[in-house]
Amino acid sequence: MIRKLAIWTLAWSCACAFAQMTPVGLWKTIDDDGKTEKSLVRITDTGGVLTGTIEKIFDATKQDSKCDKCTDDRKDKPALGMAIIRNVRQDADDKTVWGGGEILDPNNGKTYKTRLKPVDGGKTMEMRGYIGFLYRTQVWQRVE
């Protein structure tokens, strides 16, 4: 009986640790300066495909902002509630990385290929947006 309980406890803690090593959850986005909190983005998983939606914007002057520079279906839509991460999947070769999708910068309307990589036990995430060999990486902090 004790052996079964120990095995169950070990399996449960491994599952919980793995769950934190996914991008799924609520993240605080931090500007490139590494200090300025910009928003809260909730990343969800639907059938292995990740989507990230803006849940909160910290700058009170941007609460009602719209993506007037977007060129797709998000044009002139409110940034709050907008899906800025789309079609991201776990990498087949490197299970610690999610990519293949895109991230939108609602300030300039540009979309970039993206790569998400939880680090530090899932407490933070490297969010990289790139075009070709040019890229920008931000470190986001897990809220939940």
The answer to the question of residue 137 being in a domain is yes
The answer to the question of residue 15 being in a domain is no
Q: Residue 85's closest CA among 45, 124, 122, 131?
A: 45
pTM of the model: 0.84
Residue 120: which CATH number?
Answer: 2.40.128.520
Q: Number of structural domains, the chain?
A: 1
The answer to the question of residue 8 being in a domain is no
Looking at residue 34, what is its pLDDT?
75
Domain enclosing residue 73, as ranges: 22-142
The answer to the question of residue 77 being in a domain is yes
Residue 123 tokens, joined:
């407490």
Looking at residue 13, what is its pLDDT?
43
Looking at residue 17, what is its pLDDT?
43
Q: What is the pLDDT of residues 27-83, one digit of tens each?
A: 999 987 778 899 999 999 999 999 999 999 999 999 999 999 999 999 999 999 999
> Distance of CA 112 to CAs 99, 120, 124, Å?
11, 25, 21
Q: Residue 24's closest CA among 79, 94, 90, 105?
A: 90
First to last CA, the chain: 34
